[in-house]
Structure 1
Amino acid sequence: MSDIAIETEGLTKQFGGFYAVQGVNLKVRRHSIHALIGPNGAGKSTCFNLITKFLTPSAGTIRLEGKDITHVKPAALARRGMVRSFQISSVFPHLTCRENVRVALQRQMKNSYQFWTPESVLNALNDEVDAILQSVGLFDMRDTLAVELSYGRKRLLELATTLALKPDVLLFDEPMAGMSTGDIQRVVDLIRTAAEGRTVLMVEHNMGVVADLCDTITVLQRGQVLAEGSYEEVSKNPEVIAAYMGGHA
């Protein structure tokens, strides 16, 4: 078995005469944490949405564990073990924190698609739900409606529901956006823990997080790969400094 979990070849997305992503070749090693970074308009989110099948490529190939997923639908991709988060919180606003996580955990039950499941059956998941909520710091808010949470807490709840799906491959779209310093450190610790035995690909602007967390960094500029390597390597690359890093190198 190859040690590459996600691979793209010639990945391209064209909008009219504009190439948002052009000829991107990417290899994400299994059980690593890999970041996509770049200045605004570099094509990070487009590339991310192509890989997770929320956009259709104009050209190129996408593989998951060596299998072509270029034309696989997002729901089918999730069933194959690849789950993503979004920049905008995607939790159910009028369910409690516990209910949100429990919905995700129902996937492992044989009756996961039965809408009229007795609550006594669902309550059997509560211990696991509460453990997940404890891990993201939301246990004390388990009976709070998601709509009543702050933005940062909603992001933590979304992370909890993502982890509850027990994916093999996790993709995070700016997981630290809008979070307080304390919440950022909590999420960094959670991602590091969640990455044990899993593959993580993330888009992230917080360079401190990227430096601390990621094994490999791919830098995009104008839809193309500018550089790739460890944080130490890319942060010293003159082209990266000119395009993105500024005084952070």
Structure 2
Amino acid sequence: MLKSEYAIETSNLTKTFAGFTAVDNVSLQVERGTIHALIGPNGAGKSTMFNLITKFLEPTAGKILLNGEDVTAAKPAAIARKGAVRSFQISSVFPHLSLLDNIRVSLQQRMNNSFNFWTSDRRLDTLNEDARRILAEVGLDDSEDILATELPYGRKRLLELATTLALEPKVMLLDEPMAGMGTGDVKRVADIIRRVAKNRTVLMVEHNLNVVAELSDRISVLQAGAILAEGTYDEVSKNPDVRSAYMGEADA
């Protein structure tokens, strides 16, 4: 049986809260092996879409498919086991663990679906090679013994990306990975996302349009919970409705 060409697909996806429609009949298709950006003004429904796809929210109506499989009724843990892993807008690393230990937590979660804090150091040491390889992948291999709380903001976001990679995701959902970063950190993280996306599918919410233009194969623009336009960056940036709804606000 052939898998769908789409890693993520939603059909007429809708979410209402007490009469307010946050996501309105959205049919989204994210092609496997691409970087797909989801953009739009504040309140457009981007984070709600992420929460629906990863099942942190239940849809009011519609379907969600991962690699052609209907996962509308699945729980968040089941979505993660199927290879779709989300990083959050706010860093979610363990601040008082070292970088190496943060990665080992994710590696153990991948193997056992839970982390046992009483696991012996000897057993956890078997994870060190993989943990160091992942830290090297995001350029943090020189800091493995530093506590996460001691990292500057940009490198802390790199650590979060590393913990996501440790779960071996087939699909990565990145929620504003550049939020709060300076220019140097933005370039570093963009380069890493491009590199780690080579064998994965990435769905990314991002406000930095330079990053969106540089990284994205395809873009979906949300406004008031509905898809306003889709296409390449050149296509959507020339769309007068998009320029009115989003581009002007982002460039202000």
TM class, shorter-length: over 0.9
SS at match of 2:194: helix
Shift of 1:17: 1.7
State the identity %: 65
Cα RMSD after superposing both structures: 1.7
Larger displacement relative to structure 2 (227-236 or 123-132): 123-132
For residues 60 and 112 of structure 1, do their structure 2 counterparts lie closer, same or farther at Cα, with a shift above 3 Å needed?
Answer: closer
Which of the numbers 20, 45, 48 marks the counterpart of 1:46? 48
**Matched position secondary structure for 2:198:** coil
One of 14, 18, 21 as aligned partner of 2:20: 18
Aligned in 2, Cα 1:244/1:186: closer, same or farther, shift over 3 Å? same
Q: Which residue of 1 aligns with 2:218?
A: 216
**AA matched with 1:35:** A
Cross-structure match for 2:148: 146
Amino acid at match of 1:5: A
How far does residue 111 in structure 1 lie from its aligned partner after superposition? Answer: 9.5
SS of match in other structure, 1:99: helix
Q: Is the 8 A contact 2:105 2:115 kept in 1?
A: no
CA offset digits 1:109-166 (Å, max 9, x no partner): 4696555432122212222212221222222221111122222222111000001111
For 1:70, the equivalent position in structure 2 comes to 72
The residue type equivalent to 2:25 in the other structure is G
Deviates more, 1:215-224 or 1:99-108: 99-108
Query: How many pairs align?
Result: 248
Which residues of 2 match residues 1-249 of structure 1 at below 5 A?
A: 1=2, 2-109=4-111, 115-246=117-248
Displacement of 1:39 in angstroms is 0.7
Q: Distance in 2 between matches of 1:133 and 1:101?
A: 8
Consecutive unaligned residues of structure 1, counting only runs of 5 or more, are none
Alignment partners' CA distance in 2, 1:113 and 1:161: 13
By how many angstroms is 1:41 displaced?
A: 1.1
In the superposition, the TM-score normalised over structure 1's length comes to 0.94
1:52 Cα deviation after fit: 1.1
Deviation of the 1:87 alpha carbon: 0.6
For residues 71 and 182 of structure 2, the distance between their equivalents in structure 1, rounded to whole angstroms, comes to 36
Gaps spanning 5+ residues in structure 2: where?
Answer: none
Q: Helix, strand or coil: the match of 2:23?
A: strand
Normalised by the size of structure 2, how large is the TM-score? 0.93
Tell me the CA shift for residue 235 of structure 1.
0.4
Change (3 A) 1:125 1:235: same
